[in-house]
Amino acid sequence: GAGVSQSPSNKVTEKGKDVELRCDPISGHTALYWYRQRLGQGLEFLIYFQGNSAPDKSGLPSDRFSAERTGESVSTLTIQRTQQEDSAVYLCASSLAGGARDYGYTFGSGTRLTVV
C-alpha cells in the first residue's frame, strides 16, 4: 500500500481480555517495528522484524506480549490478559532495510488502546 496501515485505530477493552493489533506495512519493506507511546512520553521500542523473523524482541514488556509476521507483510501484536498499564498508542513502522543507517522509518497512525 501507499503507507503503513494500522487497525483498529481505537480499541477499548476490559481488563483481562486479549487484544490483537494489526499492522500492514508498505509493500516491499522488509523491516517492521512496533513501538509503544504512553501518554505524554516518548516512544518505547517493542520488537523488530526482518522478514518473518524477529531478531530483537527485547522491548516486549512481559510474556503477555507477543507478535508475529507472516508473508513478509502483515504483523499482529497480541496482548493477553490486558492490564490498565497497557493503555497506550501502539505504533507500527516499516523500513526498506533493517540495517541501513540512513533510512528512517515510515510510521502508521497507531492504535490507541484503552484498558478499562
Question: What residue ranges bind another protein (CB under 8 A)?
Answer: 4, 31, 33, 35, 41-43, 45, 48, 50, 56, 91, 93, 95, 98-99, 101-110
Neighbours of 66 (CB within 10 A): 14
Q: Are strands 10-13 and 111-115 parallel, antiparallel or unpaired?
A: parallel
Residue 7 CB, nearest approach to another protein (Å): 13
DSSP assignment letter at 33: E
**Choice between 9 and 15, CB closer to another protein:** 9
**Residue 44, all three cell numbers:** 518505547
Indicate the residue among 19 and 93 with the shorter CB distance to another protein: 93
Nearer to another protein, 80 or 94 (CB): 94
DSSP for 33-48, written as a single string: EEEEE-TTS-EEEEEE
From the CB of 32, what's the least distance to another protein, in Å? 10
